[in-house]
Structure 1
Amino acid sequence: MSIQYIKGVGPKRASKLKKLNINTIEDLLYFVPREYEDRTNFKYIAQCKEGEKVSLRVKICGYPTTLKPRKNLSIVKIPVRDETGMAFLVWFNQDYVLKQLSLGDSIVVYGKINRFGNEIQITNPVFEKGKGNRNRIGTIMPIYSLTKGLSNNEMIRIMHNAIKEYSNKLPEVLPDYLRTELNLMPIKEAIKNIHFPMDKNSYLKARRRLVFEELLTLQLGLFLIKNRSNDINRGIQFSPSDEVYRFIDKLPFKLTSAQKRVFKEIEKDMEDNKQMNRLIQGDVGSGKTIVAVLAMFKAYKSGYQSVLMVPTEILAQQHYESISNLFSEYDINCELLIGSLSSKKKEQVLEDLKNGNIHVLIGTHAIIQEHVEFNNLGLAITDEQHRFGVKQRAILNQKGNSPDILVMTATPIPRTLALILYGDLDISIIDEMPPGRKPIETYAVGTSMIERVNKFVKKQLLEGRQAYIVCPLIEESDTLNVKAAEELYMSFKDTIYKDFNVGLLHGKMQSQEKDNIMEQFKNKKIDVLISTTVIEVGVDVPNANIMVIYNAERFGLAQLHQLRGRVGRGKYQSYCILINGSNSRISRERMRILQRSNDGFYISEKDLELRGPGEFFGTKQHGLPDLKIANLFTDIDILKLAQQKAKEILDRDYLLIDEEHFLLRQKIINMFGDRLENLILN
């Protein structure tokens, strides 16, 4: 039903609510407050502290004064008292209060305390007269995200009306046995208490109920997609072969036990008749690529082509060189497909690919263009998965007849979260580093140490090394006190590093330009590379052993760890210097975590703990439904519970066809749309 028929809405307000993605009554009821103002905390005037917001019971004890210090500004000041002292209520440009308040009135007020000498003032307070029901003071007030022309008070009135009229009609989608087992609030109560909680405890119980329902629905949907895809998608059954182990024995290095374990998981998938959909998670430098190479070798031995898609041309070039080298003793033809190839070369590659003369193709987004045809694609691999997403993976999948899919990421995320972000994939983790890699020495310093940092960098450069210097922004900003890459580049190339070749790299450059700069850095034609975070997914430059990050407090821990992983790839001791422009306790704690650990999984857990809500890891590109209430990061405990219960429910009722699960099934279909409906109804 349209929201315009709710009391207090109408067509005009309905169009404003639509800007907040509120189209139906259900949308409105699930539009939860962004925060709350606790106005239940009554104090005496003598207890008030500067800057705090409080509720007071006071009596007007004198006549108001009105000041007009300048045109368009009036200040109304009314004296009040309680049994412990006196204060002044102060309003700016709100002369109408003079008609509403009189000497001797008893009122309750809520506002911010300011002190001027011995005088206590409450600025622009909210007030209510009389002893009847309190709507605005003595309660926990919801604060909503708003749009132009819609006030918080209007939103509260609309929400009161909607809850009164429609909350009884909300279906209870959770089965009774589950609500009883987990002691979850009924839906009607939960909706009422998420908007207008009686106290903190009733808010927490309401939120737990709603978050659990949302995460359970999401996880059930993802499990159903995965289970049904496994049932439906018959994949390629690759032949068992010992030749891959002879290939492993000839490698110039030994595999770690983690690499061996993950390859065993991949091998088992490839020899099964179901389509492989597997994610390899591994920290920077853990050796994911060689595991992918072994899978390619296995595909080749079974007569199939493989493809590896990466986000940048220079990374594609790097993979092409290293993989071609590993396959050089075998009759495996590797080829490169990137945008900058000449038309003639591109035509030749496309023809050879279609004819089956190319066994392994390595490239960028160019691979998923329409005119790219494979002869017999058996294995599709994407590297740095978070740069692509569900849609690109689906296009790659269509290039063959249900090829096995392998996705790799160097962004370590907790397994529980990975089950949501990559709900349709099996997960393998390479949690061990190859032997002999020296840990990167990490130092966090304040801005007062910049001169010493520059001297240290110059010393390394004079010894023949190279350095990255990273900034959060491209151009100088008036609003943020952060070093901009362009500003730093202009300054450094003519002063501190004038005796060295200095390069600049940022996201606004064309792909070709970025690749050229990285190529020059890799070939030692640039000594100091000043960059934004575009180097986060970059190429190996073994000679670069120093990373300086300005305004490190502005990056997430996981991102700082990714950036740090750009060094430490050669035989030289490597260093990461974090210049911290903040004195906050949290900022210092974050820097300490990076100094103590080189373990990406530990760091990502800590990032979740410290950062709380917000985009720890973008979910949009994963093609996930929007979450209205739950937060994947702060609600990790509820997420674990939802995952456990989702498995139990599907063990009990594989397709959710029992009557007790009917409404839950309907909610899942509404959340996922056609993507799921066709799967579970067929």
Structure 2
Amino acid sequence: MNLYDSVQYLKGVGPKRAEKLKKIGIKKIYDVLFYFPRDYEDRSSITKIRDCKNKEKVTLYVKVSGSSVTLRPKKGVSITKIPIKDDTGLAYMVYFNQPYINNTFKVGDVIRVNGRVNISYGQIQIQSPIYSKGKDNSRVGSIVPIYPLTNKLTNNEMIKIIKSTIKTYTSQLDEIFSLKMRDELNLISIDEAIKNIHFPTDRETYKKSKYRLVFEEFLILQLGLFLIKSKLRENKVGIEFHKYDRSEEFLNKLPFNLTSAQYRVFKEIKQDMESTKVMNRLVQGDVGSGKTIIAILAMLKSTVSGYQSVMMAPTEILATQHYDEINKLLKDFGIRCELLVGSLSAKEKLRILEDVKNGNIDILVGTHALIQDGVDFKRLGLAITDEQHRFGVRQRAKLSEKGKTPDVLVMTATPIPRTLAMILYGDLDISIIDELPPGRKKIDTYAVNNTMKSRVFDFVKKQIVQGRQAYIVCPLVEESETLDLQSATEVYQEIDELYKDKYSVGLLHGKMKPSDKEDIMNKFKEKEIDILVSTTVIEVGVNVPNSNIMVIMNSERFGLAQLHQLRGRVGRGEYKSYCILINESKNKVARERMRIMEKTTDGFIISEKDLELRGPGEFFGTKQHGIPELKIANIFTDMEILKIAQKEAQKILLEDATLNLPKNIKIRNRVDKLINENLKEISFN
């Protein structure tokens, strides 16, 4: 048998257990070796009985010093006590409802015992301990791996399967790194790493094994992404847009100047568009940093060169806002822009589709409706995705497939640390707008608990009296039985009752019809609504300059990056702005997160902290980006190894751009496998 045979043929597995293993992603023998522990329990350090502390978990090396006794305090309950001793004192192993344990031990047996200490009336008890006898130290006496499992599999079963697999199959593992490379990078061999990651003898062997496996995982992923990027550049001849693009004329008409960061990013986009390579660029900028202006400049360039542009946004509200902004800023340039969204009538849609196909529309803005069949462009030159984290890889790819080789621009207001961005968007060049336009008001942020709610609503009232408007954001639409959260509908009723007949209160949530959402949002923009109670549907891009206060209910339920996005909806006008976080949790991490929001408005600092406190899984669902789930590497905690792997990947490709040198063939095979299984959709074909 080889590594790629079904796991059911392993000794002690069989069809039934194979089905259980399949549920945790183990299908082949290879998968067993790479199913890593989630934690370890050190049962190798021996504690003396006299040093046992109450509630601590300990490992003892002891002798059974007397016969067991079983007590039956009431019907159906049994307590078995077995006396044990070492050279420092006496203790008891205590088992509940396991009378058969009487037959397990004989006086004089020398055993290792692991369990939690309970000191009762001066008596040291080890409750329901696990034990091992003789030379067997797999359960007690070693560092024991703890695996993530289904309720149908036990940790002991998993240990047995993995031990047996390691013994028989690690010799078949392919070593992809040469001895020279391993020496240079201080890497242990793959078979050593696999053995010791599952069953480390000490902390040092664990660290070396983990380093080797994390480095390899990052290196292969990075090489895969770099190869996709270079393939995109080599195999496709892009559009060479005109150097003359009327951008100076456009900028002179603006009532404000671009920041130096905006100029820098537009220059990077211009260079891409004027070259024959296909542009694949991510523009990353904090809330309010002015990404839309950059997108409009790129679309103007595309139109002047005789090409069409398309811009996809995640919601109708945001798409409509972009459409209005583009028409306002490009009205003097003879450019025709249209809006394609799901709520249009069939007749309107048909008219727009015909005009796009015939080339009568220069810029088409819309939602997911843009990627449906039947949306055909005559000469698409530029495809833009706004708030890209709301779209999967497939959707972004589908948009660019509407043209032959259009340039691609993706924009995000979720600041991501650059190293992490290189993992998530390794196929894209990255531009960062790291400067806010002058005049953006600082938003004062306060975190309070629920006892302050009435004072918060009084403060909201004062702002409304002064002519301002307010957002109140809630995490749910309807009341949940399982979560103690105030729903948007409940808060809406409460606020409406509180300000009855004095102020207008609106409700906005994702379950409403698009036309109703748009109607509510327009009323808020036109100041017909004073207080908008909303779910996170307002997170992305909505611009109401008169709104200067946001209250976020159950703020502990949101990620920091999301709170930062929401906060960015205020502070867009001339008025002093506020964000009040009502935090219901007494949890230490929740309080720390609220403190971060109070201390800084820098999106990059916030995203780093969010990543640190919540981990990459919650920070960014990488699956929707086409990035494979990492088996052992952690984007945040292993950041230093990631940087080393990125440098090494660049060094390897500098010497061997296609990985075809004999020494790199095995690395190439692994990279190809990764691309074919996980990354093939990422390349914007």
TM bracket (short chain): over 0.9
Distance 1:223 1:673 in 2: 15
Alignment match of 2:536 (pick from 533, 538, 545): 533
Specify whether residues 258 and 58 from structure 1 end up closer, same or farther in structure 2 by C-alpha distance, changes over 3 A only: same
Runs of 4+ in 1 over 6 A off after TM superposition: 674-680
Q: Determine the structure 1 residue equivalent to 2:82.
A: 78
Deviation at 1:143, TM superposition (A): 1.0
String of CA shifts for 1:422-451, please: whole Å, max 9, x gaps.
111110000000001111001122333223
Contact 1:613 1:634 in 2 (8 A): no
Q: Determine the structure 2 residue equivalent to 1:121.
A: 125
In the alignment, structure 1 residue 101 sits paired with structure 2 residue 95: no
Specify whether residues 123 and 353 from structure 1 end up closer, same or farther in structure 2 by C-alpha distance, changes over 3 A only: same
Contact 1:237 1:273 in 2 (8 A): yes
Q: Determine the structure 1 residue equivalent to 2:316.
A: 313
Q: Determine the structure 2 residue equivalent to 1:579.
A: 582
Deviation at 1:29, TM superposition (A): 0.3
Alignment of 1:86-235 (within 5 A): 86-130=90-134, 132-235=135-238
Distance 1:260 1:659 in 2: 45
Q: Determine the structure 1 residue equivalent to 2:428.
A: 425
Deviation at 1:117, TM superposition (A): 4.6
String of CA shifts for 1:25-69, please: whole Å, max 9, x gaps.
111100101111111232223333333211122333444343445
Alignment match of 1:645 (pick from 645, 648, 661): 648
What TM-score does the superposition give when structure 1 sets the normalisation length? 0.95
In structure 2, give the amino acid aligned to 1:372.
V
Alignment match of 2:566 (pick from 541, 549, 563): 563
Of all paired residues, the percent bearing the same amino acid is 60
Alignment match of 2:18 (pick from 14, 17, 22): 14
Distance 1:352 1:648 in 2: 49
In structure 2, give the amino acid aligned to 1:53.
K
Distance 1:597 1:637 in 2: 25
SS at structure 1 position matched to 2:619: coil
Specify whether residues 101 and 524 from structure 1 end up closer, same or farther in structure 2 by C-alpha distance, changes over 3 A only: farther
Contact 1:505 1:532 in 2 (8 A): yes
Specify whether residues 497 and 185 from structure 1 end up closer, same or farther in structure 2 by C-alpha distance, changes over 3 A only: farther
SS at structure 2 position matched to 1:402: coil
Specify whether residues 133 and 613 from structure 1 end up closer, same or farther in structure 2 by C-alpha distance, changes over 3 A only: farther
In structure 1, give the amino acid aligned to 2:476.
L
Contact 2:46 2:58 in 1 (8 A): yes
Contact 2:114 2:140 in 1 (8 A): yes
Alignment match of 1:506 (pick from 491, 503, 509): 509
Contact 1:414 1:604 in 2 (8 A): yes
In structure 1, give the amino acid aligned to 2:459.
F
Q: Determine the structure 2 residue equivalent to 1:407.
A: 410
Specify whether residues 128 and 315 from structure 1 end up closer, same or farther in structure 2 by C-alpha distance, changes over 3 A only: same
In the alignment, structure 1 residue 630 sits paired with structure 2 residue 636: no
Contact 1:625 1:672 in 2 (8 A): no
In the alignment, structure 1 residue 52 sits paired with structure 2 residue 56: yes
Deviation at 1:489, TM superposition (A): 3.2
In the alignment, structure 1 residue 24 sits paired with structure 2 residue 28: yes
CA RMSD of aligned residues (A): 2.2
Alignment of 1:435-446 (within 5 A): 435-446=438-449
Deviation at 1:382, TM superposition (A): 0.6
Alignment of 1:441-520 (within 5 A): 441-495=444-498, 499-520=502-523
String of CA shifts for 1:309-333, please: whole Å, max 9, x gaps.
1000111111111110101112101
Alignment of 1:277-296 (within 5 A): 277-296=280-299
Alignment match of 1:343 (pick from 335, 341, 346): 346
In the alignment, structure 1 residue 246 sits paired with structure 2 residue 249: yes
Q: Determine the structure 2 residue equivalent to 1:4.
A: 8
Deviation at 1:162, TM superposition (A): 0.2
SS at structure 1 position matched to 2:365: strand
Deviation at 1:155, TM superposition (A): 0.6
Deviation at 1:665, TM superposition (A): 0.6
What TM-score does the superposition give when structure 2 sets the normalisation length? 0.94
Distance 1:38 1:475 in 2: 46
Specify whether residues 457 and 118 from structure 1 end up closer, same or farther in structure 2 by C-alpha distance, changes over 3 A only: farther
Specify whether residues 338 and 16 from structure 1 end up closer, same or farther in structure 2 by C-alpha distance, changes over 3 A only: same
Structure 2: runs of 5 or more not aligned: none
Q: Determine the structure 2 residue equivalent to 1:396.
A: 399
Specify whether residues 679 and 47 from structure 1 end up closer, same or farther in structure 2 by C-alpha distance, changes over 3 A only: closer
Contact 2:284 2:432 in 1 (8 A): yes
Distance 1:456 1:290 in 2: 35
Specify whether residues 14 and 254 from structure 1 end up closer, same or farther in structure 2 by C-alpha distance, changes over 3 A only: same
Contact 1:454 1:496 in 2 (8 A): no
Deviation at 1:259, TM superposition (A): 0.5
String of CA shifts for 1:599-622, please: whole Å, max 9, x gaps.
101211222233335321111111
In the alignment, structure 1 residue 369 sits paired with structure 2 residue 372: yes
String of CA shifts for 1:333-365, please: whole Å, max 9, x gaps.
111111111111111111111111111111111
Q: Determine the structure 2 residue equivalent to 1:599.
A: 602
In structure 2, give the amino acid aligned to 1:429.
I
Distance 1:67 1:579 in 2: 53
String of CA shifts for 1:65-84, please: whole Å, max 9, x gaps.
43445555433233434444
In structure 1, give the amino acid aligned to 2:267.
K
In the alignment, structure 1 residue 327 sits paired with structure 2 residue 330: yes
Deviates more, 1:98-107 or 1:300-309: 98-107
String of CA shifts for 1:159-200, please: whole Å, max 9, x gaps.
000000001110101233321111011000000011111112
Structure 1: runs of 5 or more not aligned: none
Contact 2:626 2:681 in 1 (8 A): no
Distance 2:620 2:678 in 1: 23
Distance 1:364 1:3 in 2: 45
Contact 1:473 1:485 in 2 (8 A): yes
String of CA shifts for 1:510-553, please: whole Å, max 9, x gaps.
44444343333333333333333332214112222111223323
Distance 1:103 1:610 in 2: 51
Contact 2:245 2:300 in 1 (8 A): no
SS at structure 2 position matched to 1:614: helix
Contact 2:241 2:273 in 1 (8 A): yes
Contact 1:608 1:634 in 2 (8 A): no
Specify whether residues 317 and 158 from structure 1 end up closer, same or farther in structure 2 by C-alpha distance, changes over 3 A only: same
String of CA shifts for 1:573-605, please: whole Å, max 9, x gaps.
111112233344433332222222111012112
Deviates more, 1:528-537 or 1:63-72: 63-72
SS at structure 1 position matched to 2:618: coil
Distance 2:682 2:54 in 1: 60
Specify whether residues 652 and 441 from structure 1 end up closer, same or farther in structure 2 by C-alpha distance, changes over 3 A only: same
